[in-house]
């Protein structure tokens, strides 16, 4: 990183982790989407994902977003994107066309 960032930025001690804010935002603003993902009404997510592990992650994130690992929050957010692809989500654009 020394080639990319000035020394002042690289050694700065006031940087912080955005993971708790990300997880809290997903829970607060996208709870309905998390419900849809966990329900997997189409079965398409379950065809490629371990739904028990995904549901467990969603439950843990809802219980304590401040302590939820950022890597797992990003994975759940990626699954949300997959779920919203046309033809994947119930009533998605492909289904309505």
Summarised one tens digit per residue, pLDDT across range 49-70 is: 999 999 999 999 999 999 999 9
pTM of the predicted model over 0.85: no
Number of H helices, E strands in the chain: 7, 0
Would you give per-residue pLDDT tens digits along the chain (97 residues)?
778 878 887 787 776 778 899 999 999 999 999 999 999 998 999 999 999 999 999 999 999 999 999 999 999 999 999 999 886 555 554 444 4
- Please check whether residue 23 is in contact with residue 71, taking contact to mean a CB–CB distance below 8 angstroms: no
Domain boundaries, the chain: 17-86
SS3 89: coil
- Please check whether residue 17 is in contact with residue 69, taking contact to mean a CB–CB distance below 8 angstroms: no
- Cα(51)–Cα(47) distance, integer angstroms: 9
- Please check whether residue 49 is in contact with residue 79, taking contact to mean a CB–CB distance below 8 angstroms: yes
């Amino acid at each position: 990183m020394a080639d990319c960032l000035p020394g002042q930025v690289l050694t700065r001690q006031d940087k912080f982790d955005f993971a708790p804010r990300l997880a809290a935002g997903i829970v607060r603003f996208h709870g309905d989407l998390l419900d849809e993902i966990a329900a997997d009404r189409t079965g398409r997510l379950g065809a490629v994902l371990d739904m028990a592990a995904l549901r467990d992650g969603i439950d843990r994130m809802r219980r304590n977003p401040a302590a939820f690992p950022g890597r797992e929050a990003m994975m759940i957010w990626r699954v949300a994107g997959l779920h919203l692809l046309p033809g994947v989500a119930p009533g998605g654009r492909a289904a309505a066309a």
